[in-house]
Amino acid sequence: MADARTADDTTIKHRSHNIPETTAWKDFLSLIKIGIVNSNAITTFTGIWLALYFNNDKFLSHLDTVIFTLVGSSLIIAGSCAINNFYDRDIDHVMERTKTRPTVTGKVNPFQVLWMGIVLLTIGFVFMLMTTYTATLISLTGVITYVFLYTMWSKRLYTINTVIGSVSGAVPPLIGWAAIDANLSVAAWVLFLIMFIWQPPHFLALAMRRCEEYREANIPMLPVVHGFAITKRQIMIWILCLLPLPFYLYELGIGFIIFATALNLGWIALGIKSFNAEDEFKWATKMFVYSINYLTILFVSMVIFTII
C-alpha cells in the first residue's frame, strides 16, 4: 500500500495544469470537510440545548461549556476528516466529488495534512476536557470509529462500512448532551439513534448515485456488490426504523411528535413513489436530497419546539 500511495503522489504532481484555482483558505476548508463540520455542529448544539431543557437548566449559565463543546467537537471532526483525506488520497482521484481535493491535486503535502489533522485533534480534545470526561470519551470513540474502524479498515473491505461509519456520525448530539449532563438519559440515546439510523439511507442513496465511481475505486458499497434492488430495500427498511423514535421525545410536545412523524412519512412516501421506476438514479437523487433536508429540519425543529 505504501508503494501504491507513493506512486499515486507522483502521478498527482503531473496533473498540476488541471488543478483548479483556489485560495489557501478554500483548500483548508476542503481538507477539513467544512460541510460535515457545520452539519455536526448543528446536531451537537441540539444535544446541548436539549440536555439543558430536559434538566431545567439555563443556557447562559453554561455558556463556557457550550463554547468549549462546540469548538472542541468541531476541531475533532475537522481533524478526523483531514486524516481521512490523507489516507484516501490514493482513491479520491477516481471520484468526481473528491478528485479536486488538495490532497489529490498535489496542492498540499499529504503529510502536512496528516500533521494538521493530528494537531486539530489534540487541540479539540483539550477543549473537550474542559467539559466532562464522558463527553471526551464519546469524542474519542467517534474518532477511533471514523479514522480506524471506517477509513482504514471497513471502507475498503465490507459493504457494512456504511453502518460502521454511522457510529461516528451519530455521536455529536451525544457529545453535546454529555458535556452538560454526563448521566445520559433515554432522550440522549434517542438522538444518537436518530443520527445512526439516518445515515445508511443517506449514504446508500449517495452510493447509488456514485455507483460506478465507487466501483472504479474498488470500494465495496452495497449497490456495487449487491446491486440497486437490495440497496433500495435496505434504504426503505432503515427509514421505517425511524418511525417510532420521535415518540420517545414526547416531552418536546405533541406538536413535535406530529411534525417529526410527518417528516418520516414524507420520506417513506417519496421512497415508495417510483420505487419500481426504471430511472433509479433519479429515485436515489430525490432520496439523497430529502435526507439532507430531513436532518437539518428535524434537529432545528427540536430546538424550536422547546421555545414555542
* Band of pLDDT at residue 12, cut at 50, 70 and 90: very low
Q: Which tens digits make up the pLDDT trace of 242-286? A: 999 999 999 999 999 999 999 999 999 999 998 887 789 999 999
pLDDT, tens digit, for every residue of 26-63? 999 999 999 999 999 999 999 999 999 999 999 999 99
CATH for 25: 1.10.357.140
Specify whether 176 is located in the same domain as 194.
no
CA 138, 244, 262, 208 dihedral sign is positive
Same domain? For 228 and 169 the reply is no
Same-domain status, 12 and 129: yes
Last residue of a domain, one of 133, 164, 182: 182
- The answer on 73 and 173 residing in a single domain is yes
The predicted pLDDT at position 202 comes to: 97
Query: Are 193 and 256 in the same domain?
Result: yes
Q: At what angle do helices 280-307 and 34-54 cross, to 10 degrees?
A: 40
CA 85 and chain centroid, separation:
14
Q: Are residues 154 and 275 located together in one domain of the fold?
A: no
CA torsion sign for 20, 24, 29, 33 is: positive
pTM of the model: 0.91
The total of structural domains in the chain comes to: 2
The reply to whether 33 and 160 lie within a common domain is yes
Residues 285 and 197 in one domain: yes
Average pLDDT over residues 198-218: 95
Q: Which of 182, 214, 244 is the last residue of a domain?
A: 182
* CA atoms of 143 and 130, how far apart (whole Å): 18
Q: Are residues 146 and 234 in the same domain?
A: no
- Please give the Cα distance from 83 to 151 (Å, whole number): 9
Residues 150, 19, single domain; the answer is yes
H-assigned helices in the chain: 2-13, 24-31, 34-54, 63-87, 102-105, 110-128, 133-143, 161-170, 172-180, 186-209, 211-216, 222-226, 228-240, 254-272, 280-307
> Do 162 and 203 belong together in one domain?
no
Same domain assignment for residues 114 and 191: no
Residue where a domain stops, chosen among 123, 156, 182: 182
List the domain range (segments joined by +) for residue 264.
185-308
